[in-house]
């Protein structure tokens, strides 16, 4: 887990001292990703910079790593969990290996197998390989987008690649040089609470998409998708269900075993739900001294600390709780947003930042449960197509009547949203877990709001693919989430908040072998229809059954909480003036109606019960305003602590 930064010139240009100095200087933006070692290498066409967080082969595998007599140099951020098996295959094929790490397996595999090496990797990764003989580059990003990779073209025509956008901004020369704020990306952010790939909030900076490889030839970037997730549900014969559950348990156990490979201490995050509890229980098999970490707030109704402590006791693992206050939450926001690069309006990323900070005092790697919901059908919203099945029998005129009635009902009235959602097709109503602003609400907030731009712009091609594949509505929602919510919100906050603390986070659910099995689970084993007992209103049913011998019974069927944040209570109470100060000081009038935002804040303060929906809307705006203050106005300057951690933790 590290931070990479590469500059590749065009055929007409040659690398000069300014390019080397530029990479060397911009590397400081990535220091938190790799405080153990920093190195820069260059030739007349490329400059490769690297900050390393040593996890495997601590004394060896320095990067940019040479291979084949210095023909290749590789920059690699991530971990390859099947590197031991790959090393055996490479050695058997005659490859020469001089390190004991996983980085060399990628470049040696590329030398031996070519671009198909990416299909053999089980892990999380973004990498760039520079071939000094052909003066070309090859790189890739992992199948699900666990590890980030940003790219931009500089004024001199050269290309830059980096693990974080802020280093690209420095190479470009600031926000204005990066094209300024992209209005379409901002509108998507306000709709989705994140900027969807491959865009960023700056016009001139893009992301290499998940599951994509690329080449650079004569300064031209060419991309190709090497991984496309495919669901292929297979029916389970009556009486053979336990075989499926056993296969799921075995696949997850094998994935966790490989994710435990490290030359440093590995711990685990632990929340109140089945996902992280399952991971911690399995990890405990391979590390009897496993430490787990949980975060909560000073509010009993939303804190997970007590529940996680009970789970830790049942599992027999050490447990470290973190409890934060509203004031700590607010003080951390500028720092958190700086680490994010682009705004993500998920309040859960703040407690994640705090629990990662505490975990880094004890371990260097943690396991976590991200991806289980998207693979196994865990979100409650996935039950919606089943609950709205009756609407499929309503004729078009009836749906028009439901839509009209929904429009006439007052905001917040029971049944209003149900009628609206029942009257429109899945493609229009579902675009992920965040639905903070309606089109009309967004038009009131955002100056220059484009009525022709909506979430459909982001999901239209994805839904077309689901129709071509013949997916049912639930599977279609899972598929859409893999390309939107998972890689836009869940994995961004996981990467950025842990790496902010020089902590490596690993996600055993998002393993190609686990996905290969999860993709075959039939619908009634993900979100069963009807039934009683543990089947009634269940999600992730097959996963829960698979974990019956592993996870404490009290956790198996508990409602998912995530990292619950009392945002509405905060903004209506202790953080109200803090929020008003952010709005008052923001220079975002070009984009947003400040008075409208203040009006939303007033509604929160005066309401008998603060609206969670309005709180989410305000929070989304506040995060953007802080981001704008840091990266555009350069008025807000977060106090980023110097990263000083021992290598051998």
Class of the CATH domain delimited by 241-378+484-556? alpha beta
Q: What is the CATH number of domain 2-225?
A: 3.60.20.10
Does 562 show up as a binding residue in the annotation? Answer: no
Alpha helices (H) in 326-383, listed in sequence order: 326-331, 333-340, 349-359, 372-376
What residues contact residue 92 under an 8 Å CB cut-off, 6+ apart?
none
Q: What is the pLDDT of residue 560?
A: 61
Token pair belonging to 587: 């220079």
Average pLDDT over residues 604-633: 95
Please state whether the peptide bond connecting residue 64 to the residue before it is cis, i.e. omega within 30 degrees of 0. Answer: yes
The domain limits of the chain are 2-225, 241-378+484-556, 383-472, 567-631
Per-residue pLDDT at 562 exceeds 70: no
3-state SS, residue 366: strand
Q: What is the pLDDT of residue 644?
A: 65
Residue 402 and residue 422: Cα distance in Å, rounded?
8
Instruction: Return the residue matching tokens 């409890």.
Output: 323
* Nearest residue to 521 via CA among 137, 122, 231: 231
Token pair belonging to 44: 């007349």
Catalytic residue status for 29:
no
Does 23 show up as a binding residue in the annotation? Answer: no
Q: How many helices (H) and strands (E) does the chain have?
A: 28, 17
Please state whether the peptide bond connecting residue 198 to the residue before it is cis, i.e. omega within 30 degrees of 0. Answer: yes
Residue 191 and residue 201: Cα distance in Å, rounded?
14
Does 368 show up as a binding residue in the annotation? Answer: yes
Catalytic residue among 2, 190, 583, 597: 2
* Nearest residue to 437 via CA among 460, 415, 414, 453: 453
Query: What is the radius of gyration, based on Cα positions, of the chain?
Result: 24
Per-residue pLDDT at 622 exceeds 60: yes
Token pair belonging to 249: 């348990």
3-state SS, residue 387: helix
Per-residue pLDDT at 384 exceeds 60: yes
Does 589 show up as a binding residue in the annotation? Answer: no
Q: What size, in residues, is the chain?
A: 649
Band of the pLDDT at 646, cuts 50, 70, 90? low
* Nearest residue to 389 via CA among 264, 527, 580: 527
Q: What is the pLDDT of residue 232?
A: 97
Beta bridge partners of 128: 75, 139
How would DSSP label each residue in 124-167? EEEEEEEETTTTEEEEEE-TT--S--EEEE-TTS-EEEESSHHH
pLDDT of 236-294, one tens digit each? 999 999 999 999 999 999 999 999 999 999 999 998 889 999 999 999 999 999 999 99
Mean predicted lDDT score pLDDT of the chain:
93
pLDDT of 530-554, one tens digit each? 766 677 778 999 999 999 989 988 7
């Amino acid at each position: 887990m590290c931070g990479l930064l590469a500059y590749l010139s065009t055929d007409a240009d040659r690398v000069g001292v300014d390019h080397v100095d530029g990479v060397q200087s911009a590397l400081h933006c990535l220091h938190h990703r790799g405080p153990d070692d920093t190195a820069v290498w260059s030739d007349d066409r490329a400059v490769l910079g690297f900050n390393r967080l040593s996890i495997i082969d601590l004394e060896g595998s320095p990067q940019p790593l040479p291979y084949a007599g210095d023909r290749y140099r590789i920059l690699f951020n991530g971990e390859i969990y099947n590197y031991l098996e790959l090393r055996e295959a490479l050695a058997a094929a005659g490859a020469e290996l001089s390190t004991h790490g996983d980085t060399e397996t990628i470049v040696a595999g590329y030398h031996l197998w070519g671009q198909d090496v990416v299909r053999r990797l089980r892990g999380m990764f973004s990498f760039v390989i520079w071939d000094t003989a052909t003066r070309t580059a090859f790189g890739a990003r992992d199948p699900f987008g666990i590890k980030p990779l940003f790219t931009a073209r500089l004024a001199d025509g050269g290309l830059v690649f980096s693990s974080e956008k802020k280093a690209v901004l420095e190479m470009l020369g600031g926000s204005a040089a990066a094209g300024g704020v992209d209005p379409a990306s901002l509108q998507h952010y306000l709709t989705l609470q994140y900027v969807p790939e491959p865009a960023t909030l700056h016009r001139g900076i893009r992301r290499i998409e998940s599951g994509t490889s690329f080449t650079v030839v004569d300064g031209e970037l060419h991309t190709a998708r090497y991984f496309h997730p495919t669901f292929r549900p297979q029916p389970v014969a009556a009486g053979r269900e336990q075989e499926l559950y056993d296969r799921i348990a075995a696949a997850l156990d094998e994935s966790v075993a490989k994710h435990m490979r490290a030359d440093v201490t590995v711990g685990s995050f632990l929340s109140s739900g089945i996902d992280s509890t399952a991971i911690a229980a399995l990890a405990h098999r391979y590390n009897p001294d496993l430490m787990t970490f949980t975060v909560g707030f000073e509010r009993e109704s939303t804190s997970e600390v007590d529940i996680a402590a009970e789970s830790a006791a049942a599992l027999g693992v050490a447990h470290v709780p973190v409890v934060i206050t509203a004031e700590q939450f607010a003080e951390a926001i500028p720092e958190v947003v700086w680490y994010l690069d682009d705004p993500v309006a998920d309040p859960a990323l703040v407690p994640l930042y705090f629990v990662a900070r505490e975990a880094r005092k004890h371990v260097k790697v943690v396991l976590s449960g991200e991806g289980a919901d998207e693979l196994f059908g865990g979100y409650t919203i996935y039950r919606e197509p089943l609950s709205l099945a009756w609407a499929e029998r309503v004729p078009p005129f009836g749906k028009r009547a439901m839509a009209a009635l929904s429009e006439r009902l007052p905001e917040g009235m029971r049944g209003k949203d149900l009628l609206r959602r029942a009257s429109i097709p899945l493609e229009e109503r579902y675009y992920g877990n965040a639905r903070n602003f309606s089109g009309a609400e967004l038009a009131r907030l955002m100056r220059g709001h484009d009525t022709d731009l909506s979430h459909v712009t982001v999901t239209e091609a994805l839904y077309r693919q689901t129709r071509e594949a013949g997916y049912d509505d639930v599977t279609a929602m899972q598929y859409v989430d893999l390309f939107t919510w998972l890689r836009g919100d869940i994995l961004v906050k996981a990467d950025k908040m842990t790496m902010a603390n020089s902590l490596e986070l690993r996600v055993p659910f998002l393993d190609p072998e686990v996905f290969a099995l999860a993709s075959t689970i039939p619908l009634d084993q993900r979100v069963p229809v009807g039934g009683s007992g543990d089947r009634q209103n269940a999600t992730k049913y097959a996963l829960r059954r698979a974990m019956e011998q592993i996870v404490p019974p009290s956790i198996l069927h508990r409602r998912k909480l995530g990292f619950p944040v009392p945002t509405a209570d905060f903004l209506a109470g202790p953080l109200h003036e803090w929020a008003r100060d952010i709005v008052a000081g923001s220079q975002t009038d070009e984009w947003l109606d400040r008075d409208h935002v203040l009006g939303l804040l007033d509604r929160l303060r005066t309401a008998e019960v603060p609206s969670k929906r309005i709180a989410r809307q305000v929070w989304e705006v506040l995060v953007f305003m802080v981001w704008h203050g840091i990266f555009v106005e350069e008025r807000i300057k977060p106090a980023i602590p110097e990263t000083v951690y021992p290598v051998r933790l």
